[in-house]
Amino acid sequence: MSQVTTSAASPAATTSGATMRAVSQETGGGPEVLKVVETRRPAPGRGEILVRVHAAGLNPADWKTRSRGEFAVGTKPPFTLGWDVSGVVETVGDGVTVFRPGDEVYGMPRFPHPAGAHAEYVAAPARHFAVRPKGLSHVESGALPLAALTAWQALVDTADVRPGQRVLIHAAAGGVGHLAVQIAKARGAHVIGTASAAKHDLLRSLGADELVDYRTQDFAETVRDVDVVLDSLGGPNWARSLRTLRPGGTLISILPLDATFPTAEAEAAGVRAVFMLVEPDRQGLQEIAKLVEEGRLKVIADAVFPLTEAAEAHRLGETGRTTGKIVLSVTP
């Protein structure tokens, strides 16, 4: 990836004279639009902290936003992608009492608004972060926030998964999926996952009770009496997932709904069907860290790239063939 120099300022306040490297884009398109630039370092405003980023995860929202050339909230280029952050507090803004310089933190600041995590520094609200889990490397904790919060908010806050319930997780070996399997299991659920056969051993080791090879089996014909479905695939999968749910069950899509969503069918079947958008969540991050520290949640970083190879990381992510997460290593 090439490196260029820019004088463009971050939308946040900036530290006079201080610079940093960031991955930026001037237009939408393929991974080749990503460039490493030298730009001014942000400074924390009131209620914010400045974090020196050690590692930053990638998520489908990153390559979708890059390709589209616009954030879902309407922000247009130039911009820096990224929400997952693991790093060290550099300075704190006025009014911040929960962190001090030197604290190690992780978080998913500002989502779905731009956070600019694919950079050497990020300034964001202090309460969008939590103390990062003990025992994890920065790469591992940088892989967690968005995917783990998505799984937590879907299964715990939205579905209120309880012991003995049956939970079906699609794309169970993916970034959200492999964490959702473990969170559902920690809640005492019977966990069913869809994944290719090559990933079944891994998923069993993470706690999955039943597995369906989507390449050779039709889950809609074999899975029944499910209480909760967590779907990250959309399209025809929505209607097929309804067939697995018992009356009173919940179908949660983490993809925005469109005209193909079977709203009428869900209502007729007595099923709750919703779209859930993940939000910054300090309490959720603290609960996730607790699961990690208790040995009940493991994050898989499938591939790690330096900041300068962000384009290659995007290319890998777009294949849809990774297990777990892709992470950028920013500061050694």
pTM: 0.94
pLDDT tens, residue order, the chain (332 aa) = 655 544 343 345 555 469 999 999 999 999 999 999 999 999 999 999 999 999 999 999 999 999 999 999 999 999 999 999 999 999 999 999 999 999 999 999 999 999 999 999 999 999 999 999 999 999 999 999 999 999 999 999 999 999 999 999 999 999 999 999 999 999 999 999 999 999 999 999 999 999 999 999 999 999 999 999 999 999 999 999 999 999 999 999 999 999 899 999 999 999 999 999 999 999 999 999 999 999 999 999 999 999 999 999 999 999 988 999 999 999 87
Q: What is the pLDDT of residue 280?
A: 98
Phi, psi of 283 (to 5 degrees): -65, -45
- CATH number of the structural domain 147-275: 3.40.50.720
Q: What is the pLDDT of residue 5?
A: 44
Q: What beta strand segments (E) does the chain contain?
A: 3-5, 14-25, 35-42, 48-58, 79-80, 85-92, 104-107, 121-125, 129-131, 166-169, 190-194, 210-212, 226-231, 245-253, 272-275, 301-306, 325-329
Say if residue 78 is preceded by a cis peptide, omega within 30 of 0. Answer: yes
Helices (H), 93-235: 138-142, 145-152, 175-186, 200-205, 219-222
Q: What is the pLDDT of residue 1?
A: 62
Distance CA 173, CA 193 (A): 8
Q: Is the dihedral of CA 110, 115, 120, 124 positive or negative?
A: negative
| Domain 3-144+299-329 sits in CATH 1.20.1300.10 | no
Distance CA 213, CA 219 (A): 8
- Where exactly are the structural domains of the chain? 3-144+299-329, 147-275
DSSP single-letter state for residue 96: -
